[in-house]
């Protein structure tokens, strides 16, 4: 009997040489085989294009280097590994390398190192060859939303439903325009996190939804009537016995029953303990109350206590079901459109012959489920004997299900599979990534058809000693705040140090009011950059890692204004620049001369930025100028005696004229001006010389138009933490370590699918809701459904946010600078402060902590 194959799983911590390890094992398979085209039997899957290209490049560079007589020093470790483990001579390796290279270049398409998304698309193309990939999902969703609204408004069957939804929203004081809401529901259809829940309700008819809606209304109305009845009974007792409301302490009991009387049931009236104290003592009157009122309350205390206990029992028994029903009702009318949205989706995709990038995993999974062993894989002639799967922690559940069948098949035929990942770097849950698949493989799963071998790669080849020690201590303390299964991940994450001693970590806690915080952080960062430059670091050695594009754009714009070169992956949107705002306002006024709002915007932009000046108060100047005839208006703001003549000028020339008249050119804004002028030039090729058409195009494109930053220059790198994963830098600056990391309160609403009883919900077993976090926190003790949901959600939030911090703090080689708000107790800085307190280093009103010795300035 053959020994089962082994599934090898490598838990590779940050800086543990994961790429080197993958390349080493890939080369081993190539040189172990007697065939020069063994690469055709190997499939390596990575998460990003950059990772796949880097792996390809390294493998080819190694093979090329091995083919030379003189091998560069950096390739010795890999060369010696192949030589020693396969018992090959230098000449044998050189000869084999030449043949392998020749084979790869003669059939490069079979050199299969690919992203998972690309592999999925290639697989789908095998059974849907005539469909093209559409990357602009937002554009398709907008088209579907517009088509749907037009179609349903013309439908007698649906128009009433749409009107009712709008009226409900209007009565609640919300925006009655349905476009945004329908767009959101449409996006759920292709959201991988909603796949299984959405699959169950896609085919529900309008009648199914109406029956459910009616049932929920009956149930909620019945509960509200019961509560109102009990609330009214209290006031009947007062009226019948002549008890005055102000005889009760702080009016607590009258206020309590008033909530029930008016049907205000969502916010928990039992959340405050003061009433319970009165109830337990049985003394319901104020200390200073006249004897007659005291007597009346004492005489009726038993009635009031029984009424209180009855209403408490009624409320506690039904409130969570009531809350869920009310929240479901808020979305029910919109969810009833899903079947219609799905119809439009299919119609548009078939008409345009497209597949959306976001739905590829769902399409392939649906195909695989229908077949015992996927015929599609056989049809593609997938004869792979070896699989390498990188960044496994970022793979979604569906992606793993789509690949798993191949892995199990190859292992059953005595092939090999190597899975590499790090749960601590799982930061892509918003696109379906889920570390639980990796955790399941590491700790829980087993299979009779193959063995499982787990290797922990805990040696840090990247960072200097002080940085590794800091991270080891920080995340050991942080692990104690996590729940299982996440606790052990960080508890066992201690790394061994390989790099030389040294390194420097600096924690800065800034005490300043929130509205000035960003600018204050920038001033501190600028000093750090000056210090680093004096230590002989190049600008390109420095990386600034941010949580989102807005933070990155702010810092990038400030640095560019200071004349500091920046190389950034975040968008420096030209729409945010002052000069662009001025020109766009000019265009709007030229097109609509009587648009006084645009005139006011332009005047204030010019005054507030000292482009034009006046001795008058701004308000007085505004009133005198805003209503002038258009020619006089332009003369006034341009401080010109001549008419602002734009006849026979192109849009491009008008923009140039505005820039010259207002003297807007400067060294700091040149890059923005030229980027905007370039956009105008490109736009005129599409829309001609029409200002109206240009403005419409601008509104549709302005959220994506950014300045061009060139690569291969000595410049500070600014990127999001997500983009930095897999990279390393001599110095890392983490400027805004203040994202909410340990509390659900950072969100006003939580969006989720809740499993429900089909018996109670007319065949529906899963429903979507948006629920206020304040409601969850008030009622989690009352019901296991909310309690379980809350704990699971909160645990996942904490884990993901700590992962973000982990990714950021493990990028630097030599120095790490972290900036955080001193008083933000709910932010990610909680873990930094907690670490300092546990190490007994924290001191109140101490704002800077350092580990290691900073380099001396030259």
Three-class SS of 608-668: HCCCCCCCCCHHHHHHHHHCCCHHHHHHHHHCCCCCCCCCCCCHHHHHHHHHHHCCCCCCC
> How high is the mean pLDDT of the chain?
86
For 737, the token pair is 């370590």
Q: Same domain for 714 and 856? A: yes
Contact in structure between 153 and 374 (CB atoms under 8 Å)? no
Domain membership flag for residue 765: no
In this prediction, residue 748 has a pLDDT band, given cuts at 50, 70 and 90, of low
- 370-387 average pLDDT score: 71
Helix (H, G, I), strand (E, B) or coil at 331: helix
In a domain, 191, yes or no: yes
Q: Is the pLDDT of residue 1 over 50?
A: no
- In percent, the amount of the chain with pLDDT more than 70 equals 93
Q: How would residue 505 be classed by pLDDT, with cut points 50, 70 and 90?
A: very high
- Confidence label for 168 from pLDDT (cuts 50, 70 and 90): low
317-326, 372-381, 667-676: segment of lowest average pLDDT: 372-381
Please give the pLDDT value at position 745. 46
Task: Report d(CA 173, CA 169) in Å as an integer.
Answer: 6
When pLDDT is averaged across residues 380-400 and rounded to a whole number, the result is 86
For the ranges 306-315, 496-505, 532-541, which has the lowest average pLDDT? Answer: 496-505
738 and 848: one domain?
yes
Question: In the predicted model, is pLDDT for residue 780 greater than 70?
Answer: no
CA distance 753 to 793: 12
- Cβ-proximal residues to 179 (8 Å cutoff; 6+ apart), any chain: 145, 146, 149
Q: Has residue 338 got a pLDDT over 60?
A: yes
- Higher local confidence (pLDDT), 52 or 668: 52
Between CA 514 and CA 492 the distance in angstroms is: 37
Is 770 among the domain residues? no
Q: How many CB atoms lie within 10 A of CB 832?
A: 22
Residue 263 forms part of a structural domain: yes
How much of the chain is helix, strand and coil, in % rounded to 5? 60, 10, 30
Structural domain ending residue among the three candidates 457, 485, 514: 457
pLDDT computed for residue 744 by the predictor:
46
pLDDT band per the 50, 70, 90 thresholds, residue 173: low
Q: Are 625 and 670 within one domain?
A: yes
Please tell me the least confidently modeled range out of 79-83, 225-229, 774-778, 800-804. 774-778
Q: Where does a domain end: 420, 437, 457?
A: 457
Mean pLDDT of the 147-166 span? 75
* Higher pLDDT pick, 512 / 429: 512
Higher pLDDT, 534 or 824: 534
Is residue 635 scored above 50 in pLDDT?
Answer: yes
pLDDT tier for residue 362 given thresholds of 50, 70 and 90 = very high
**Burial bucket for residue 180 (CB in 10 Å: 0-12, 13-18, 19+):** exposed
In this prediction, residues 791-803 reach a mean pLDDT of 86
Highest mean pLDDT of the ranges 295-309, 358-372, 374-388, 818-832:
295-309
What's the mean pLDDT in 105-117? 91
Q: Are residues 450 and 376 in the same domain?
A: yes
When divided into structural domains, the chain yields a total of: 5
How many other C-beta atoms lie within 10 A of the C-beta of residue 120?
Answer: 22
Residue 389 sits in the same domain as residue 467? no
User: Is residue 51 domain-resident?
Assistant: yes
Q: Is the pLDDT of residue 65 over 90?
A: yes
**Do 144 and 228 reside in the same domain of the chain?**
no
Residue 719: strand pairing partners: 545
Same domain, yes or no, for 493 and 583?
no
Query: What confidence tier does 570 reach under pLDDT thresholds 50, 70, 90?
Result: low
- Among 856, 757, 858, 845, smallest CA distance to 815 is for 856
Confidence grade of residue 811 (pLDDT, cut at 50, 70, 90): very high
- Please report whether residue 585 resides in a domain: yes
Question: What is the model's pLDDT at position 152?
Answer: 79
60: confidence class by pLDDT, cuts 50, 70, 90:
very high
Whole-number pLDDT of residue 626: 87
- pLDDT of 126 over the 80 cut: yes
Q: Report yes or no: 603 and 595 within 8 Å, Cβ to Cβ.
A: no
Residue 157 backbone dihedrals phi, psi, to 5 degrees: -65, -35
- pLDDT score, position 749: 75
What string of DSSP letters covers 793-804? HHHHHHHHHHHH
pLDDT at 482: 87
Domain presence at residue 757: no
Sign of the alpha-carbon torsion through 255, 261, 267, 273: positive
User: How confident is the model at residue 728, as a pLDDT?
Assistant: 94
Residues 39 and 97 reside in one and the same domain = yes
156 vs 820 pLDDT, higher one: 820
Judged against a pLDDT cut of 90, whether residue 103 lies above it is answered with yes
Residue 162 φ then ψ, to 5°: -65, -45
C-beta atoms surrounding 391 within 10 Å:
26
The pLDDT score that the predictor gives to residue 166 is 67
Checking if the pLDDT of 361 tops 50, the result is yes
Query: 556 and 620 share a domain?
Result: no
How far apart are alpha carbons 168 and 176 in whole angstroms?
8
- pLDDT surpasses 90 at 223: yes
Nearest to 433 by CA among 117, 186, 134: 117
Q: Among the listed ranges 435-439, 461-465, 843-847, which one has the minimum average pLDDT value? A: 435-439
Q: Are residues 194 and 291 in the same domain?
A: no
The three-class DSSP label of residue 854 is coil
pLDDT at residue 169 greater than cutoff 70: no
730 three-state secondary structure: strand
Which residues make Cβ contacts (< 8 Å) with residue 447, sequence separation at least 6?
7, 408
Average pLDDT on 740-763 reads 76
pLDDT of residue 663: 86
pLDDT tops 60 at residue 743:
no
Say what the pTM is.
0.81
Q: Last residue of a domain, which of 319, 352, 385?
A: 352
Instruction: At 223, list the tokens.
Output: 């509960």
**Residue 329 shares a structural domain with residue 347:** no
Asked whether the predicted pLDDT for residue 153 surpasses 80, the reply is: no
Domain membership of residue 275 as a residue range: 213-333
Identify the CATH number of the domain in which residue 471 sits. 3.40.50.300
| One domain for residues 811 and 715 | yes
Mean pLDDT along residues 821-849:
89
**Tens digit of each residue's pLDDT (9 = 90 or more) over 523-554:** 999 999 999 999 999 999 999 999 988 898 88
User: In this structure, are residues 47 and 115 in contact, taking their beta carbons and an 8 Å threshold?
Assistant: yes
In-domain check, residue 756: no
Q: Does pLDDT of 853 surpass 60?
A: yes
């Amino acid at each position: 009997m053959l020994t089962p194959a082994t599934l090898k799983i490598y838990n590779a911590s940050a800086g543990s040489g994961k790429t080197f390890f993958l390349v080493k094992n890939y080369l081993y398979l190539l040189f172990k085989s007697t065939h020069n085209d063994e690469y055709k039997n190997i499939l390596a899957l990575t998460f990003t294009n950059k990772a796949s290209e880097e792996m390809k490049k390294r493998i080819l560079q190694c093979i090329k280097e091995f083919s030379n007589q003189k091998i560069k020093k950096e390739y010795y470790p890999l060369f010696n590994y192949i030589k020693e483990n396969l018992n090959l001579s230098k000449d044998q390796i050189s000869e084999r390398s030449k043949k392998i290279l020749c084979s790869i270049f003669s059939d490069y398409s079979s050199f299969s190192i690919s992203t998972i998304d690309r592999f999925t698309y290639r697989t789908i193309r095998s059974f849907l060859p005539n469909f093209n990939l559409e990357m602009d999902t937002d554009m398709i969703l907008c088209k579907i939303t517009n088509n749907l609204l037009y179609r349903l408004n013309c439908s007698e069957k649906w128009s009433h439903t749409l009107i009712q939804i709008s009226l409900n929203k209007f009565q609640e004081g919300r925006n009655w325009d349905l476009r945004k809401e329908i767009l959101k529901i449409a996006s759920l259809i292709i959201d991988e996190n909603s796949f299984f829940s959405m699959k169950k309700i896609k085919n529900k008819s309008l009648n199914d939804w109406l029956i459910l809606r009616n049932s929920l209304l009956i149930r909620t109305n019945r509960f509200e009537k019961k509560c109102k009845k009990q609330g009214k009974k209290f006031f009947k007792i007062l009226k019948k016995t002549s008890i005055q409301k102000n005889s009760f302490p702080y009016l607590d009991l009258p206020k309590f029953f008033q909530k029930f009387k008016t049907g205000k049931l969502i916010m928990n009236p039992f959340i405050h303990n003061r009433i319970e104290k009165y109830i337990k003592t049985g003394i319901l009157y104020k200390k200073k109350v006249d004897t007659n009122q005291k007597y009346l309350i004492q005489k009726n205390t038993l009635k009031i206590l029984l009424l209180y206990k009855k209403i408490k029992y009624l409320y506690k028994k039904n409130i969570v079901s009531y809350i869920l029903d009310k929240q479901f009702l808020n979305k029910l009318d919109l969810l009833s459109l899903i079947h219609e949205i799905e119809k439009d989706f299919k119609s548009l995709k078939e008409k345009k012959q497209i597949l959306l990038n976001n739905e590829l995993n769902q399409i392939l999974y649906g195909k695989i489920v229908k077949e015992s062993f996927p015929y599609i894989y056989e049809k593609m002639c997938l004869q792979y004997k070896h699989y390498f799967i990188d960044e496994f922690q970022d793979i979604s559940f569906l992606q793993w299900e789509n690949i798993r069948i191949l892995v199990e098949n190859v292992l059953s035929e005595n092939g090999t599979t190597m899975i590499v990942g790090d749960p601590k770097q799982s930061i892509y849950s918003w696109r379906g990534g889920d570390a639980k698949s990796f955790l399941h493989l590491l700790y829980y799963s087993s299979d009779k058809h193959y063995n499982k071998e787990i290797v922990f790669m805990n040696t840090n080849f990247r960072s200097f000693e002080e940085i590794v020690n800091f991270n080891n201590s920080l995340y050991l303390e942080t692990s104690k705040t996590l729940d299982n299964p996440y606790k052990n991940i960080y508890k066992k994450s201690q790394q061994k140090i390989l790099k030389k001693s040294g390194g420097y970590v600096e924690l800065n806690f800034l005490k300043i009011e929130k509205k000035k915080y960003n600018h204050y952080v920038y001033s501190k960062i600028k000093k750090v950059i000056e210090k680093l430059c004096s230590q002989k670091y190049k600008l390109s050695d420095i990386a600034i890692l941010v949580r989102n594009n807005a933070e990155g754009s702010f810092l990038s714009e400030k640095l560019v204004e200071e004349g500091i070169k920046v190389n950034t992956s975040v968008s420096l949107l030209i729409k945010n620049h002052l000069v662009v705002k001025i020109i766009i306002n000019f265009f709007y006024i030229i097109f609509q001369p009587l648009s006084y709002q645009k005139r006011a915007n332009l005047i204030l932009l010019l005054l507030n930025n000292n482009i034009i000046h006046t001795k008058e108060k701004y308000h007085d100047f505004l009133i005198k100028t805003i209503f002038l005839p258009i020619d006089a208006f332009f003369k006034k703001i341009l401080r010109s005696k001549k008419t602002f003549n734009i006849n026979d000028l192109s849009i491009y020339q008008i923009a140039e004229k505005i820039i010259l008249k207002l003297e807007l050119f400067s060294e700091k804004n040149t890059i923005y001006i030229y980027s905007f002028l370039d956009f105008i030039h490109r736009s005129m090729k599409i829309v001609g010389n029409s200002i109206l058409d240009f403005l419409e195009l601008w509104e549709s494109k302005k959220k994506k138009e950014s300045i061009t930053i060139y690569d291969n220059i000595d410049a500070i790198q600014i990127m999001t933490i997500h983009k930095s994963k897999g990279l390393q830098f001599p110095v890392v600056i983490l400027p805004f370590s203040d994202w909410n990391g340990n509390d659900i309160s950072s969100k006003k609403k939580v969006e989720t699918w809740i499993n429900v009883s089909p018996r109670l919900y007319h065949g529906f077993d899963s429903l979507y809701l948006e629920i206020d976090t304040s409601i969850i926190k008030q009622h989690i003790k009352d019901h296991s459904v909310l309690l379980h949901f809350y704990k699971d959600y909160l645990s996942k939030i904490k884990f993901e946010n700590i992962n973000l911090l982990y990714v950021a703090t493990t990028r630097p080689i030599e120095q790490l600078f972290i900036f955080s708000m001193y008083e933000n107790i709910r932010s990610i800085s909680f873990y930094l402060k907690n670490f300092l307190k546990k190490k007994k280093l924290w001191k109140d009103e101490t704002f800077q902590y350092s580990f290691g010795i900073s380099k001396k300035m030259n």
